[in-house]
Amino acid sequence: PLDSGTAEAETLVNRLFDQILADTKLVENVRTLLVRLKPAVLSLARRDPALVRQSDHPAWQLLNRLSAHCAGYD
């Protein structure tokens, strides 16, 4: 069974990925890679409670860097 913190983390990650993947400007190749990345981030959220407490967590840094890098592409 999931504790409330783990369930909250999973909900947060699911919502974040849903919003990112819903972006019509997202390049299809990047969308495919993000779909593949989502299960790993969800797994991390289940095991590492710091994910939802730290805005500078390495998982967020990775997603922020990916987003920043891809923002300039049509």
- The pLDDT value given to residue 41: 93
* Residue-averaged pLDDT of the chain: 85
Rounded distance, CA 57 to CA 30, Å? Answer: 21
Rounded distance, CA 53 to CA 60, Å? Answer: 11
Question: Mean pLDDT across the stretch 46-74?
Answer: 83
Rounded distance, CA 21 to CA 44, Å? Answer: 19
- The pLDDT value given to residue 14: 93
Rounded distance, CA 74 to CA 60, Å? Answer: 23
The verdict on pTM exceeding 0.85 is no
51 CB neighbour count, 10 Å cutoff = 19
- The pLDDT value given to residue 73: 63
More confident residue, 18 or 2: 18
- The pLDDT value given to residue 55: 87
